[in-house]
Amino acid sequence: MSDLTVDDLADVRAGDKGDTLILAVLPRDGEAYAVLERDLTPEAVARHFAVTEPVVRTELPHLPALVFRVPAVLAGGVTGYSGLDGHGKSLGYHLLMLRLDRTP
Amino acid sequence: MGLVIRLGAGAGFAGDRIDPAVELARDGALDYLVFECLGERTVAAGQLRRLADPDGGYDPLLEARMRAVLPVIEPGQTRIITNSGAANPIAAGRRVADVARALDRPTRVAVVTGDDALETVRRLDPVVWETGEPLSTSTEELVSANAYLGAEGIRLALADGPDVVVTGRVADPALYLGPLQHEFGWAADNWPLLAAGTVVGHLLECAGQLTGGYFADPGTKPVPGLARLGFPFADVRPDGTATLGKLDGSGGRLDVRTATEQLLYEVDRPEAYLTPDVVANFSGVSFREAGPDRVEVAGASGAARPDDLKVTLGFRGGWLGEGQISYAGPRALARAELAAEIVRERLADVHGIAPDAIGVELIGAGAAFRGLAPATEPLEVRLRVTARTADATQAHTVGWEVESLYTNGPAGGGGARTGIQQSLVVRSCLVPRDLVSPTVTLMEER
């Protein structure tokens, strides 16, 4: 385990659709994209958010960006969840705290 | 018709700021100013207001927005499009006409209706996405059903030459696609162009989010002048390519990074972004900086629109009661946890609230991350207890039990606040598109 986190390499924008959390990961350059493409796997994101349903990753190398679709994580979403952040807007910053397993 | 159409973003949500729209309306040389003011929750909340007042149910800020922008736009040059009609577009259209008359600004108002699908879903009994069961099995009372209309109604309305177009539920990007179709004569099955217009609409629909709002982070993404954030505009060409921009001297920043974040915002499948007008493919979209706060966008592609339209269903969901109280200093977290246990026990045993209807958040100790990250001992913790209840009286007991911790709970609790609100549950279903069609009504100029 290294000290490198997603926050060192990328920005994250969180969005929601019902119970699904959508995380757009925006690496700050091509090198960062390569590291994240290798190490920020759908499985790593699923573990970080403690979900059992599969996480889907879309790769957009030309932007560059990775989009993660994390299902069944928002506990009812904006109208179903009684907690303050039903959208899960702050959860993008939880992904920024993910420690990457390997160093570049 | 010019070669370039300039679309400006006047609002990105119902509660958005008004002054950036005024700046854009006054100094932006816009062809269209678009106010996106309707979310899934907002339309259902509007339906509740309309049930209480038959003349209500539209965006509460509509009048203030119109009062602010109508005096500064050039009549006949800048047209306004807004989904502020929410649950009552006709009443909203009347209100806009009233405001214009009071300002002595002759204004032609067209209203697009047809999104109300309540009778249709009652008859069809479609499967509700969230439950997987037919609508008729829902136990809560259905109060609203609004289909996402596409750009067609706006295109039809613009043919009548209005100054303001008011709609109810319309897919957000369609508010921008409609005027492009009207101006450029894009066919309703020209998927690449409809996709290009949809990308422009998607980039603009959250207004300030394209120009550095919701992007700013002092450590990694500094944005200047957020207190006077400039809203964006797009200069769109007949081939669907566009230049994004904001007014010189306004706050914020517009560059490839802000544009890329907004392109992917709330997009779960970039290769298939579903709208009523087209299935847009964002995966080939690219950006290029064309000057200070100017970004070129190109590369959208698209495929045939879906056969079904998404419908937002609003149900009465009972009441949500809440109470909050703070603990600080040594053992703050332990005292907040003890307080939570006491309130839980009291709500269940004394007030008969089901344990699974009670929610506890320890704000300051990782509540936003929902237990996914380990909490460290914070300097202060704010306990928030909620419960969903069938009636308002029971909802009141939540705040009551939190407040009574003052004399019955852990040491040092402070700043208790309580509240209740009627809650609304929003779910979704599909209906065949041929059962939903837009209608345009012109408001009489009195």
Query: Contact at 8 Å (CB) between B209 and B223?
Result: no
Task: Please list, residue by residue across B129-150, b when 16 or more beta carbons sit within 10 angstroms of its beta carbon and e when fewer do.
Answer: ebeeeebeebeeebbbbbbbbb
Q: Residue B38, class by beta-carbon neighbours within 10 Å (0-12 exposed, 13-18 middle, 19+ buried)?
A: buried
On whether any CB of chain B is under 8 Å from the CB of A63, the answer is yes
SS (H, E, C) B202-256: HHHCCHHHHCCCCCCECCCECCCCHHHECCEEEEECCCCCEEEEECCCCECCCCH
- Ordered by start, the domain boundaries in chain A are 6-75+84-97
The answer to whether A75 contacts B370, with C-beta atoms less than 8 Å apart, is yes
**What was the pLDDT predicted at B51?**
87
Query: Contact at 8 Å (CB) between A68 and A74?
Result: no
Instruction: State the smallest CA–CA distance between residue A43 and chain B in angstroms.
Output: 16
Structure-block tokens of residue B63: 């009048």
Residue B29 has a CB neighbour count (10 Å cut-off) of 12
Please compute, for residue B434, the number of CA atoms within 13 A of its CA located in the half-sphere on the CB side. 1
- Report which secondary-structure segment, H or E, holds B441: strand B439-442
The C-alpha atoms of residue A64 and residue B79 are separated, in whole angstroms, by 36
Instruction: State the smallest CA–CA distance between residue B282 and chain A in angstroms.
Output: 10
The terminus-to-terminus CA distance of chain B in angstroms comes to: 30
Q: In terms of CATH architecture, what is A6-75+84-97? A: 2-Layer Sandwich (3.30)
The C-alpha atoms of residue B289 and residue B295 are separated, in whole angstroms, by 5
The answer to whether B271 contacts A62, with C-beta atoms less than 8 Å apart, is no
- Report which secondary-structure segment, H or E, holds B93: helix B89-102
On whether any CB of chain B is under 8 Å from the CB of A98, the answer is no
Whether the bond between B71 and the residue before it is cis, its omega within 30 degrees of 0, is: no
On whether any CB of chain A is under 8 Å from the CB of B366, the answer is no
**What was the pLDDT predicted at B263?**
98
**What was the pLDDT predicted at B414?**
98
Residues of chain B with pLDDT under 50: 1
**What was the pLDDT predicted at A104?**
46
Residue B220: its chain A contacts at CB < 8 A? 7, 11
Structure-block tokens of residue A58: 């879309």
Contacts of B7 (CB under 8 A, 6+ apart): B30, B31, B32, B34, B176, B179, B180, B200, B204, B233, B234, B236
Residue B70 has a CB neighbour count (10 Å cut-off) of 21
Residue B251, phi then psi, degrees to nearest 5: -75, 170
Nearest CA to B280 out of B199, B205, B203, B200 is that of B199
Residues of chain A with pLDDT under 70: 1, 78-79, 102-104
The C-alpha atoms of residue A56 and residue A81 are separated, in whole angstroms, by 23
ipTM of the complex model = 0.94
Instruction: State the smallest CA–CA distance between residue A75 and chain B in angstroms.
Output: 10
- Report which secondary-structure segment, H or E, holds B281: strand B279-281
**What was the pLDDT predicted at B446?**
53
**What was the pLDDT predicted at B428?**
95
The C-alpha atoms of residue A35 and residue A61 are separated, in whole angstroms, by 12
On whether any CB of chain A is under 8 Å from the CB of B269, the answer is yes
C-alpha distances out from residue B391 to A78, B324, B344, B405, Å? 21, 20, 18, 23
* pTM of the model as a whole: 0.95
| 3-class state of residue B432 by DSSP | strand
Residue A49: its chain B contacts at CB < 8 A? 372
Residue B283: its chain A contacts at CB < 8 A? 58, 60
